[in-house]
Amino acid sequence: MEPTSAPSQPKPAAKPKPKPGDKGVEQEEGKLQTGKGKLGTLTNPETYDNVPGHIIPILEHEFDDFDAEADEFLAGNTPEPEFIGFRLKQGVYGQRQPGVQMVRVKLPYGGITPEQMDAFADAVETYAPLNKGHITTRQNIQIHHVPLDQMKHMLRDLAPSGLSSREGCGNTVRNVTGDPWAGVAEDEIFDPTTYVGAYVRYFVRHPTTQLMPRKIKTAFTGSDADRAITGIHDIAFISRIRDGVRGFEVRVGGGTSIMARVAPTLYDFVEADNGDFLKVSEAVFRIFDRQSWLRVNRARARIKVLVDKVGIEEVRRMVDEELKGDWVDERDFTVDHMLFDLDEESNLTPAVISSDSPNGDRSAFDAFVAANVEPQKQAGFNTVEIKITRGDLTPEQFRGLGQIMRDHSGGFARTTVQQNLVLRWVRDESLYDVYRALGELGLDEPGPRTITDVVSCPGTDSCKLGITSSMGLNRAIQEKVTGMNITDPLTRQIHIKMSGCPNGCSQHHIANIGFYGASLKVSGKTMPAYVPHLGGKYVDGEVIYGTRLKSRLPARRVPEAVERWINLYEADRNEGEVFNDFVERVGTARMEEEVKELTMPAEFSLESMQQFIDWNRVDPYKVERGEGECAI
């Protein structure tokens, strides 16, 4: 019988990956990579306190340095590139608007105190023209549009409460994110918070991490549910216990933006209490710092590119070899003096409880409790997640939340990567008082982490790299999905995120429905547009990057596209089928077809003029994109 198809050919052998030192993977041999110096000396004058909110040591002379350098720059005595490199390490970032800056205040693991909420309120009120502070997807708080001659005063004003912007920008170890439910979640292996403190303190101002090829994003989580989304980070730590010893699984090489990658495991287990997790981290950073080939193209100068180039097995071999170096004996990796050792439960203060109760119609309160409240593993206590629209808070809201924290959560709260705030240690009997107080601040909306909790970066509101008004689109989509009155539980689980450029500060790659900003040329004119991603995931311990569609939607039509996809999903899904499974079953071509009509840009006319104006804008759209400062 004749064969009906050609015999299968053997697969060609995989091309061997390059090794360090090969052409294209050049190393900077002999580079001096020193440590911080002995604690308490002139080279390392830091002191550590187990005071809530005071994790990053604050050094007064750094404010003096910033004052002097800012004055020299404003007087025209310092070239701008030189000054940019200095101010970035202080967490001060340039904006697309000339003459003003953004400060990125680091909140390790998202932790924040009532005193810090008050400090933010005062700073926003005094220095921020837009009268708001912004919670980011990295659990920082940013304040925008601050003139440089006022920035130096604002940094000093924030410091007494323990707030620091040190290395909030630049090619450094950025803010370390963590699970907001760490220490109170039932599914936790152990609470990594105290080790986060040691990690932050070890690497802030560390000489080796001041000018790496690019930034380092770090996450810690104590649960396999991975609420810190470790897979998208340069380096990440997941709690593990082996033979009664605490340690971490270490992952290296994740990241979004271009060449999105999920971080593979470098080591299954690295001890925590003996400081091995710090030793391994420094070895990784030393190797990364010597990759001279990565410095050629800063857009690709991330650890994930090294891992992708040589493979995780080779990176593991490199780290093993690095750990044999003499530098190891020159360091102090003991963690006892650096641990942020604060027992929240033992530091709780009595709650202020009124005699009020939800008399009459309890439906609104009950809906809030069902959507925003989760019982802690400690009996009688709860977390309350506050939905903060677009991550923005006014001075009145900062202060009001600070008072709620004092009265009802023992002063403990954490920001989230969803740009929300989680109150911890709220007693059962305080829930109604908290709900009522939040209502007075306009913050009692139910449904964090649902379809109406839309996430975006600032986009062209402030960012030099922004192409579109992602905050404006956020508002438009939120209004659209809110107006749809969605009650279906599966539909409400959909997460929507958008970025103003392809870089992904909103984490649009991992949303069920994500967008990044782009543009369209129509008859010689330009309109704002977005490229959609569908099928991303970041919950239940799994990271999946969404599939980019072959569509480019005019910005003004994106809300309608979202509505069409939701309607298609609800009409054609199988019983119990979640959105991502639906997209996979019907295929991206079907999803593209559903919005094909919307991708057809209108010719410029009086009737279509609105499509050539971006959301929240009044002038005709044009692409104005500057040079980002992340790698200067």
Indicate whether 152 belongs to any domain: no
Is the same domain home to 195 and 323?
yes
Together in a domain, 387 and 497: no
* d(C-alpha 233, C-alpha 255), whole Å: 5
Structure confidence at residue 5 as a pLDDT band (50, 70, 90):
very low
User: What is the pLDDT, as a whole number, of residue 342?
Assistant: 87
Q: Does 259 have pLDDT greater than 50?
A: yes
- Axis crossing angle, helix 276-289 with helix 303-310, rounded to the nearest 10: 80
Q: Examine residue 325 and state whether it is found in any structural domain, yes or no.
A: yes
What percent of the chain lies above the pLDDT cut of 70? 97
Q: How many domains does the chain have?
A: 3
Looking at the fold, whether 551 and 604 belong to one and the same domain comes out as: yes
- pLDDT, tens only, 160-176: 999 999 999 999 999 99
Local structure of residue 539 (DSSP, 8 states)? S
Question: CA of 549: how far to CAs of 126, 456, 510, 534, in Å?
Answer: 44, 19, 14, 7
The predicted model gives 261-282 an average pLDDT of 98
Give yes or no: residues 337 and 391 share one domain. no
Within a domain: 65 = no
One domain for residues 420 and 552: no
The first and second tokens of residue 270, run together, are 């690295």
| Model pLDDT, residue 299 | 85
Q: What is the pLDDT of residue 13?
A: 58
Q: Is 240 contained in some domain?
A: yes
What average pLDDT score do residues 107-116 get?
98
Last residue of a domain, one of 407, 440, 473: 440
Q: How far apart are CA 491 and CA 372, in angstroms?
A: 17
Whether residues 474 and 587 fall in one domain:
yes
Helix residue ranges, H only, 32-164: 60-74, 80-89, 114-127, 148-158
pLDDT at 277: 98
Q: Using the 8-state DSSP alphabet, how is residue 300 labeled?
A: G
Token pair belonging to 526: 């330009």
| Amino acid at residue number 441 | L
For the segment 146-164, the average pLDDT, to the nearest whole number, is: 97
pLDDT over 60 (residue 333): yes
Average pLDDT, the chain: 94
Full DSSP string of 347-387: G-------S----S--HHHHHHHHHHEEE-SSTTEEEEEE-
- The string of pLDDT tens digits covering residues 384-418 is 999 999 999 999 999 999 999 999 999 999 999 99
| Stretch 299-319: mean pLDDT | 96
**pLDDT at position 630:** 61
Flag whether 228 is in a domain: yes
Say whether both 369 and 315 belong to one domain. Answer: no
The pLDDT-based confidence of 23 (bands split at 50, 70, 90) is confident
Q: Model's pTM, two decimal places?
A: 0.94
End of a domain among 342, 375, 395? 342
Q: List the CATH number of the domain containing 255.
A: 3.30.413.10
Strand partners of residue 173 = 216
Both 196 and 233 in one domain: the answer is yes
- Mean pLDDT over 339-346 rounds to 90
Q: Which pLDDT belongs to residue 176?
A: 98
User: What pLDDT does 15 receive?
Assistant: 65
Taking only the tens place, the pLDDT of each residue in 478-516 is 999 999 999 999 999 999 999 999 998 999 999 999 999
The 10 Å Cβ neighbour count of residue 347 is 13
Are both 415 and 461 inside the same structural domain? no
**Is residue 89 situated within a structural domain?**
no
Handedness of CA 82, 87, 90, 95 (dihedral sign): negative
Residue 449 has which token pair?
């982490």
Cα separation of 55 and 383, whole Å? 23
Last residue of some domain: 384, 408, 440? 440
Residue 245 lies in domain: 169-342
Radius of gyration of the chain (CA): 25
330, 367: one domain: no
* CA 241 – CA 249 distance, rounded (Å): 10
Position 156 in a domain: no
pLDDT value of residue 601: 83
d(CA 468, CA 352): 45
pLDDT of residue 18: 80
DSSP state string for 209-245: GSS-SS-EEEEEESSTT-TT-GGGSSEEEEEEEETTE
CATH of the domain at 409: 3.30.70.3340
pLDDT at position 349, please?
A: 82
pLDDT at 624 over 70: yes
How far apart (Å, rounded) are the C-alpha atoms in residues 328 and 243? 26
pLDDT tens, residue by residue, 229-245: 999 999 999 999 999 99
For residue 631, what pLDDT is reported?
45
User: Does the structure show a pLDDT above 90 at 347?
Assistant: no
**459-471 confidence digits (pLDDT tens):** 999 999 999 999 9
- Quick check: 9 pLDDT over 70? no
Whole-number pLDDT of residue 12: 55
**How far apart (Å, rounded) are the C-alpha atoms in residues 306 and 27?**
12
- The pLDDT tens digits for 71-89 are 999 999 999 999 999 999 9
- Residue 6's pLDDT is 39
pLDDT for 151 beyond 50: yes
As a whole-number percent, the residues of the chain with pLDDT over 90 amount to 86
Nearest CA to 277 out of 286, 287, 267 is that of: 267
428 and 298 both lie in a single domain: no
Shared domain check, 463 and 429: no
Query: Quick check: 192 and 222 in contact, CB under 8 A?
Result: yes
Q: Are 533 and 558 in contact (CB under 8 A)?
A: no
For residue 311, being part of any structural domain is answered with: yes
